[in-house]
Amino acid sequence: MDFGDSPAEAEFRQRFRAWLVDNNPGLPASSTDDDYWAGQAAWHQSLYDAGFFGLSWPTEVGGHGLPSVYDAILDEELAAAGAPPRPGLGYLVHGILEHANDDIKARFLPGLVNGRDRWCQGFSEPDAGSDLASLRTRAERDGDEYVITGHKVWTSYSDDADWCLVLARTDHEVPRHKGISAFAVAMDQPGIEQRPLKMINGITKEFGEVVFDGARVPAANMIGEPGDGWPLAMTVVSHEREPGELGYVARYRKLAKELTAAVKADPTAYDAEQVRQLGWAIVETEMLRHHVSRRLSDRLDGITHGPEGSVDKLLMTWTEQTVGHAALGIGGADHTGDGDDTWLKVYLYSRAQSVMGGTSQIQRNLIARRILGLPA
Ligand X SMILES: Cc1cc2nc3c(=O)[nH]c(=O)nc-3n(C[C@H](O)[C@H](O)[C@H](O)COP(=O)(O)OP(=O)(O)OC[C@H]3O[C@@H](n4cnc5c(N)ncnc54)[C@H](O)[C@@H]3O)c2cc1C
209's enclosing H/E stretch is strand 207-218
DSSP 41-95: HHHHHHHHHTT-SSTTS-GGGT-----THHHHHHHHHHHHTTPPPPP--HHHHHH
The residues, any chain, with a CB within 8 Å of residue 140's CB and separated by 6 or more, are 146, 147, 149, 170
Q: Is residue 162 a contact partner of residue 136, using CB atoms and an 8 Å limit? A: no
155 binds ligand X (CB under 6 A): yes
The residues, any chain, with a CB within 8 Å of residue 236's CB and separated by 6 or more, are 91, 92, 94, 95, 121, 123, 165
Min dist CB 71 to ligand X, Å, is 21
DSSP 131-175: SGGG---EEEEETTEEEEEEEEEEEETGGG-SEEEEEEE--SSS-
Footprint (CB under 6 A) of ligand X, residues 284-323: none
Min dist CB 330 to ligand X, Å, is 24
Q: How many Cα neighbours within 13 Å face the side chain of 160? A: 14
Q: Which is nearer to ligand X, 126 or 332 (CB)?
A: 126
123 binds ligand X (CB under 6 A): yes
Q: Which stretch binds ligand X (CB under 6 A): 84-92, 118-126, 222-230, 304-312?
A: 118-126
Q: Which of 31, 32, 68, 124 binds ligand X (CB under 6 A)?
A: 124
Instruction: Report CA 278 to chain centroid distance, whole Å.
Output: 26
Q: Which is nearer to ligand X, 315 or 356 (CB)?
A: 356
Query: Taking Cα atoms as reference points, which of 295, 291, 337 lies closest to residue 316?
Result: 291
> Does 11 participate in catalysis according to the annotation?
no
Q: Which is nearer to ligand X, 129 or 226 (CB)?
A: 129
Q: Which is nearer to ligand X, 6 or 361 (CB)?
A: 361
Q: Which is nearer to ligand X, 14 or 134 (CB)?
A: 134
Min dist CB 200 to ligand X, Å, is 10
Q: What are phi and psi of 346, to 5 degrees?
A: -60, -45
Q: Which is nearer to ligand X, 192 or 259 (CB)?
A: 192
Q: Is residue 120 a contact partner of residue 155, using CB atoms and an 8 Å limit? A: yes
Min dist CB 34 to ligand X, Å, is 14
Q: Is residue 123 a contact partner of residue 132, using CB atoms and an 8 Å limit? A: yes
Binding mask 177-216 for ligand X (x = CB under 6 A): ------------------------------x---------
Query: Taking Cα atoms as reference points, which of 166, 76, 160 lies closest to residue 121?
Result: 166
336 binds ligand X (CB under 6 A): no
Min dist CB 131 to ligand X, Å, is 6
Footprint (CB under 6 A) of ligand X, residues 342-371: 352, 355-356, 358-359, 361-362, 365
Secondary structure class of 111 (helix, strand, coil): helix
The residues, any chain, with a CB within 8 Å of residue 358's CB and separated by 6 or more, are 130, 237, 240, 241, 310, 313, 366
Q: Which of 32, 56, 156, 350 binds ligand X (CB under 6 A)?
A: 156
Q: Which of 101, 130, 189, 336 binds ligand X (CB under 6 A)?
A: 130
Min dist CB 325 to ligand X, Å, is 18
154 binds ligand X (CB under 6 A): yes
Q: Which is nearer to ligand X, 322 or 353 (CB)?
A: 353
134 binds ligand X (CB under 6 A): no
Residue nearest to ligand X (CB): 129
Q: How many chain residues touch ligand X (CB under 6 A)? A: 19
Catalytic annotation, pick one of 76, 77, 206, 240: 240
166 binds ligand X (CB under 6 A): no
Q: Is residue 119 a contact partner of residue 89, using CB atoms and an 8 Å limit? A: yes
Min dist CB 192 to ligand X, Å, is 15
Site residues (vs ligand X, CB under 6 A): 120-124, 129-130, 154-156, 207, 352, 355-356, 358-359, 361-362, 365
| Residues recognised as catalytic | 240
